[in-house]
Chain A
Amino acid sequence: MLKELTKLEMKKTREGFGHGLVDLGEKDERIVVLAADVTDSVNAGFFARRFPERFVQMGIAEQNMATVATGLSLVGKIPFYSTYSVFSTCRCMDQIRISICYSNANVKICGAHGGISVGQDGATHQAMEDIAMMRSLPNMKVIVPCDYWQSKRATMAAAYIDGPVFIRFGREAVPTLTDESTPFEFGKGVVLRDGGDVAIIACGVMVYEALVAAEVLGKQGIDCRVINLHTIKPIDRDLIIRAARECGAIVTAEEHQVYGGMGSAVAEVLVSHAPVPQEFVAVMDCFGQSGQPDELLRAYGLKSEDIIAAVKRVLKRK
């Protein structure tokens, strides 16, 4: 159940990933982890120190990392390869397409530092096309967890989802919405707040912003349903169709380009099965820049206020 939104513990999703790997490593010998020089930055270091014989340092060579991971999967390992999401996806897209996806290799692709909230490193390091690229590939599964615990659980679940999986984490500490006992069900979105006027569908850090927006809108008499769509592929079609039919309007919110991301995936379901008005809260087809994470989220229209505005726009179109 939801705790009071202002009093939530702040934790990093990438730490959830790192701790998930260690727990996996304890119980399954097949788990191997690869990193490309930024081992501690992506928290793969937790695993590297606990299981040095099953950790492979790749150096700064992401293309080789994706394909070495593919080879490891061929001899029965369950490889997780990790670096910043811009590098674990865009940098080696062809390796992912041919060696991993076309072959349906059992490789887990981990992208830390997803989204604009990476902050001061600027546009080069802010992955905002990764969801679109990964979900376009046959056989790939895409997960964007919302907090520490969900990141840990999703990491552990990914080991036992057959074939390629992409999981995206963030850099900054974010409010912890779930706890140790919250189950993670791959492919099933979670209704965090029920409501009948509009459904806000969010992933990653935007789930928290959606809950804040719903709280504010609730006081104004607008009854929002909030859905954490942590699995973007395969998408939870039934949950989206039900939200469209029962609420009649949808707002999607993601820390990603507007083209091709989670919002587009939701729109694909809506136009085919339950056409209702939709508004997109996302990065509007531009690169980011340096700045503090919260400043950037505000500057690029990714805060609860932007979700509130989008809800008001979509309700006029209902």
Chain B
Amino acid sequence: MNPFNYSAEQLQAAALDVRRDIITMLVEAKSGHTGGPLSCTDFATALSFRYLNHKPSEPHWTDRDFLFYSIGHVTPVNYSLLAECGYFPLKDLMTFRKLNSRLQGHPHRLDTPGIEISSGSLGQGLSIACGVAKGSKIDKHPRRVFCIMGDGELQEGSCWEAVMFAGHYHLDNLGVIVDYNKRQIDGEVPKIMDVAPLADKWRAFNWQVLEIDGNDMQQILAAYDEMLRHRDRPMVIIAHTTMGKGVSFMEGKAEWHGKPPTMEQGEQALQELGTTYAEWSSRLLAG
């Protein structure tokens, strides 16, 4: 059971808070990735607040589901959700990327409650998720394993070793969400090194495939419901998303992959999200 079990409306409200967290912590850190965290926000929020079987007060609870962010660089959304769920205080978000913070630029298992594995080098998370899924099969444990991957990440060959493994062993306890925002640091994914046709590739490796608008909460919920019903093979949700979703001047722009907003840009972004830097940073520092 998910401890929150939010409705679609509550999830949309939570996702708005997460976007405010992301912008605020990036402005404070003056460093970090903006575009990917914002494109992931909706489906990641739904996982943490509706589907994932976890206990924020007991991060190592042995019967938990596992969630891996194979794209380590989306720490702003990952950390925001952990804090909003109660794994650690909200005020820690204001220490992101600073010396001696528990919130490293890329996630570190030994530093942060709720981080299952250190990551940041792409193309490793799905393999680790496969190991957890296979180990759970050996133990006949009913847990679910989720893995969030990037589209650019799928250019790493090691991803496909893991895709092949999961298909071969029928790991139906494993679900992947690909954040298909079609942008990477150097530009547009189809121009840099095209990963399409994605659905055909995954199907060829014996996966069940769903394609959705990954920024539409109704479609997200329908896809997760289907994932949890489904048995006999692993499932991937190819989530078509918009990089920088929610902030008009960031949407669809590859330049926002790896840079933070300035204070001025942050204020503009937070205004679009219905708050101000002063208001939201005070909320975080008080939490």
A interface residues, Cβ below 8 angstroms from B: 32, 53-54, 56, 58-59, 61, 63-64, 66-77, 79, 94-95, 97-99, 102-105
Contacts and interface: CB of A to CB of B under 8 A. Distances in A.
Contacts of A69: 131
Taking each of A59, A77, A103, which has the highest tally of chain B beta carbons within 10 Å of its own beta carbon?
A: A103
Contacts of B118: 98-99, 102-103
A64 B158 contact: yes
Interface stretch (B87-95, B135-143, B190-198, B234-242): B135-143
B134 interface: yes
Contact of A98 (B62, B116, B121): B121
A164 B132 CA distance: 17
Contacts of A94: 121, 124
Contacts of B185: none
Interface size class, chain B: 20 to 34
B117 interface: yes
B164 A61 contact: yes
Nearest to B117: A103
Contacts of A76: 62, 135
B162 A64 contact: yes
Interface string B242-271: 000000000000000000000000000000
Interface in B54-74: 62, 66
Contacts of B62: 76
Given A61-B165, A67-B162, A70-B127, 14 more contacts: A63-B158, A64-B130, A64-B158, A64-B162, A67-B130, A68-B128, A71-B131, A71-B133, A74-B131, A74-B132, A76-B62, A98-B124, A99-B124, A103-B117
Contacts, number: 102
Interface string B132-169: 11111011010000000000000000100110110010
Contacts of A32: 135, 138
A75 B135 contact: yes
A95 B121 CA distance: 8
A79 B133 CA distance: 14
A59 B130 contact: no
A68 B158 contact: no
A72 B117 contact: no
B110 A103 contact: yes
Nearest to A77: B135
8 contacts: A61-B164, A64-B130, A71-B128, A73-B131, A74-B116, A75-B136, A99-B117, A103-B118
B119 interface: yes
A71 B139 contact: no
A64 B161 contact: yes
A193 B162 CA distance: 49
B161 A63 contact: yes
B143 to A, nearest CB: 8
Contacts of B127: 63-64, 66-68, 70-71, 95, 99
Closest 4 CB pairs of A and B: A71-B131, A67-B127, A64-B161, A75-B135
A103 B165 CA distance: 23
A75 B164 CA distance: 21
A262 B200 CA distance: 49
Nearest to A60: B161
A105 B120 CA distance: 16
A97 B118 CA distance: 10
Contacts of A56: 134
B109 interface: yes
